[in-house]
A and B are shown apart, each in its own frame.
Chain A
Amino acid sequence: MSLSKIIINKDVFLSELNESDEKNVVIYLNEKDIYKNTLRIPFPYHQEDFKFFFSWISKDIEKNCVWAIRNHDGKLIGVVGFHNIIRNQKAEIGYWLGKPYWGKGIMTAAVKAASAFAFESLGLSRIYACVFLKNIASTIVLEKCGFELEGILKKNVKKDGVFLDEKVYALVK
Chain B
Amino acid sequence: MYPTKIKINESIFLSPLEMEDAERIVFCLNDIQVSQWMAEVPYPYFIEDAKAFILRGTNQENSTEVVFAIRNNENELVGVVRFIDILEQKARINYWIANPYWGKGIMAEVIKKVCDFGIQELMLSRIYGHVLVENLRAARVLEKCGFTCEGMFKKSVKKNEKFFDCKLYALVVEKIN
Write the residues of chain A forming the contact surface with B, with a CB cutoff of 8 angstroms. Answer: 86, 88-90, 125-126, 128, 150-158, 162-163, 168, 170, 172
Residues 151-165 of chain B, each 1 if its beta carbon lies under 8 Å from chain A, else 0: 111111010000100
Do B170 and A154 have beta carbons less than 8 Å apart?
A: yes
B177 touches A163 (CB 8 A): yes
Give the distance in Å from the alpha carbon of A86 to the alpha carbon of B155 in the complex.
Answer: 13
* C-alpha gap A158/B177 in the complex (Å): 11
Min CB distance B70 to A, Å, is 28
Q: Specify the main secondary structure of chain A where it touches its partner.
A: strand
The distance in angstroms between the C-alpha atoms of A150 and B125, with both chains bound, is 22
A151 touches B150 (CB 8 A): yes
B136 at the interface (CB under 8 A from A): no
Instruction: Mark B residues whose CB is within 8 Å of A.
Output: 88-90, 125-126, 128, 150-156, 158, 163, 168, 170, 172, 176-177
CB < 8 Å: which of B125, B152, B163, B170 contacts A125?
Answer: B163
A-B contact pairs, 16 of them (CB 8 A): A89-B158, A90-B156, A90-B158, A126-B163, A128-B153, A150-B153, A151-B150, A152-B151, A153-B150, A153-B170, A154-B126, A154-B170, A155-B172, A155-B177, A168-B151, A170-B153
- Chain A residues with CB under 8 Å of B150's CB are 151-154
Q: Which 8 A-B pairs have the closest CB atoms?
A: A151-B151, A172-B154, A151-B150, A150-B151, A154-B172, A126-B155, A158-B88, A89-B158
Q: Which residues of A contact B90 (CB under 8 A)?
A: 155-156, 158
Nearest A residue (CB) for B87: A158
Knowing that A126-B155, A155-B177 are A-B contacts, what are 19 other residue pairs whose CB atoms are under 8 Å apart, sorted by A's residue number? A89-B158, A90-B156, A126-B153, A126-B156, A150-B151, A150-B152, A150-B153, A151-B151, A152-B150, A155-B90, A155-B125, A156-B126, A158-B88, A158-B89, A163-B176, A170-B153, A170-B154, A172-B154, A172-B155
A128 to B126, CA, bound (A): 21
Looking across the interface, which residue of chain B has its beta carbon closest to that of A172?
B154
CA distance A155 to B90 in the complex (A): 9
Cβ-defined partner of B168 (8 Å) among A89, A90, A126, A153: A153
Please state if A126 and B154 are interface contacts (CB–CB under 8 Å): yes
Q: Which residues of A contact B168 (CB under 8 A)?
A: 151, 153, 168
Nearest residue (CB) in B for A171 is B154
Taking CB atoms, residues of chain B closer than 8 Å to A89 are 158
| B153 neighbours in A (Cβ, 8 Å) | 126, 128, 150-151, 168, 170
Say how far A131's CB is from chain B's closest CB, in angstroms. 13
What's the least CB distance linking B99 to chain A, in Å?
29
Give Cα distance in the complex from A173 to B160, angstroms. 19
**CB–CB A153/B151 < 8 A:** yes
